[in-house]
Amino acid sequence: MTKATRDLIEAMTEPLPRKKGLVETLEYGTARQFGDEELTFFPANHILGATQVLVEDGEAKIGYTGDFKIEQTPVLEADILVMEATYGNPRCTRPFKKDVEETLVSLAERGLKRGPVYVFGYHGKLQEVMQILREADIKAPFVAPERVLHISKICEQHGMSIGRLLLSDETEGKELLDTNSSCVAFYHMNSKAKVGHNALHITVSGWEFNFPRRQTGDNEYTIALSDHSDFDDLIEYVRLAKPKFVITDSYRDGHAEALAREIRKRFAIHAVALPEK
């Protein structure tokens, strides 16, 4: 795994058994030999530490994309391509990709004029939102519970720009939230019903395909910020990779078979879906 992945796993679970030689880290672009096979990591624009894998044995190249957004993700030229299919259905297409970050920033700025803004998402995506808001020059304090803060610090150690974070249960952060002061509070998706009552709620989710922003309540919005390629981008990756055989990954229920079917139809490439988990 990458060093960033190792550090994030240890932050979210427990220390890995490194001393037993069971965990190795590999830098992007560095090959590692395993018997007759050579394994190389390549970047994948997903969460911090995500990687594509290329395995070569002298006869064939096998590529595994993992989860990715096609922007800033190099395309693996592989004979056999194993690829994600999270949004592999033709219905999962977003015509508004360039509008999402601007919509997120605009909504946060509007909410901050009235008080706190609560952002809900999964680990990795929360830190992406932090970076987007900082790059947009939002200077309001950021507040987060201990787990989110700890993961954010690891993301910063690996190059993300997040800036100062206040703990939600320590004096300064708690006072901001208790007095409904202007700040941005970041919480895991599971906390939506527990915190931030009567404040502006922003949920970041990739399962939005019609509009970059959808209002879900009086003071609640969903922003279509995804860390996966949509259907069109998955198809574009296959077009650029030119594989001889594609295997679509059905780890997430739903669209692996649909993507394999579309690949066969559009490119006349042999494509199959892995059995569902």
Instruction: Tell me: do 103 and 159 sit in the same domain.
Output: yes
Determine the structural domain holding residue 43 and report its residue range. Answer: 3-92+229-273
**How distant, in Å, are the alpha carbons of 103, 222, 233 from that of 100?**
5, 11, 16
Residue located via tokens 């259907």: 231
Instruction: Tell me: do 237 and 174 sit in the same domain.
Output: no
Instruction: Tell me: do 44 and 73 sit in the same domain.
Output: yes
Instruction: Tell me: do 102 and 219 sit in the same domain.
Output: yes
Domain count, the chain: 2
Instruction: Tell me: do 88 and 101 sit in the same domain.
Output: no
- Report pLDDT digits (tens) over 181-205: 999 999 999 999 899 888 999 999 9
Residue 253's Cβ-count burial label (10 Å; 0-12, 13-18, 19+) is exposed
Instruction: Tell me: do 112 and 209 sit in the same domain.
Output: yes
Instruction: Tell me: do 70 and 186 sit in the same domain.
Output: no
- Report pLDDT digits (tens) over 72-118: 999 999 999 999 999 999 999 998 878 899 999 999 999 999 999 99
Please list, in sequence order, all residues whose beta carbon lies within 8 angstroms of the beta carbon of residue 27, skipping any fewer than 6 positions away: 2, 3, 41
Q: What is the mean pLDDT of the chain?
A: 93
Q: How confident is the model at residue 14 (pLDDT cuts 50, 70, 90)?
A: confident
CATH of residue 251:
3.60.15.10
The total of other beta-carbon atoms located within 10 Å of residue 160's CB is: 17
For the chain, give the percent of residues with pLDDT over 90. Answer: 84
Residue 277 predicted with pLDDT over 70: no
